[in-house]
């Protein structure tokens, strides 16, 4: 017997929680957090380019999900959790 509701926080994934939060949180806060995330990605890509690692990155990114699925899932979930935490703390 499941004692939790289907939409209970503990039975959803970090991605599900992220998608739920961004639909109900303050739009400006969500936009700011997404902009911060894209800025981090843009800088990471710049560093890769400066070190000539773009091709290695592209190949590794495609393989990462399949060669180490647990690590991939943990890292992606960590980003969802971090972003949700940043949004929720600003909405309180």
Instruction: Give the pLDDT of the chain (92 residues) as one tens digit per residue.
Output: 344 455 555 679 999 999 999 999 999 999 999 999 999 999 999 999 999 999 999 889 889 989 999 999 999 999 999 999 999 999 87
Close Cβ partners of 54 (under 8 Å, ≥ 6 residues apart): 45, 48
Answer whether residue 38 is part of any domain: yes
- Going 73 to 75 to 78 to 79, the CA torsion angle's sign is negative
End-to-end CA separation in angstroms for the chain? 34
pLDDT of residue 1: 39
Domain that holds residue 85: 26-50+61-92
Number of domains in the chain: 1
Answer whether residue 8 is part of any domain: no
Answer whether residue 17 is part of any domain: no
The strand ranges marked E within the chain are none
How far, in Å, CA of 11 to CA of 15, rounded? 12
Answer whether residue 19 is part of any domain: no
pLDDT of residue 44: 95
């Amino acid at each position: 017997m499941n004692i939790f509701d289907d939409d209970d926080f503990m039975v959803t994934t970090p991605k599900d929680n992220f998608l739920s939060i961004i639909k109900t949180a303050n739009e400006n806060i969500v936009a700011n957090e997404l902009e911060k995330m894209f800025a981090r990605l843009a800088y990471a890509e710049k560093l890769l380019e400066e070190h000539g690692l773009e091709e290695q990155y592209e190949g590794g990114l495609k393989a990462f999900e399949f060669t180490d699925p647990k690590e991939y899932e943990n890292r992606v979930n960590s980003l969802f959790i971090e972003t949700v935490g940043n949004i929720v703390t600003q909405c309180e």
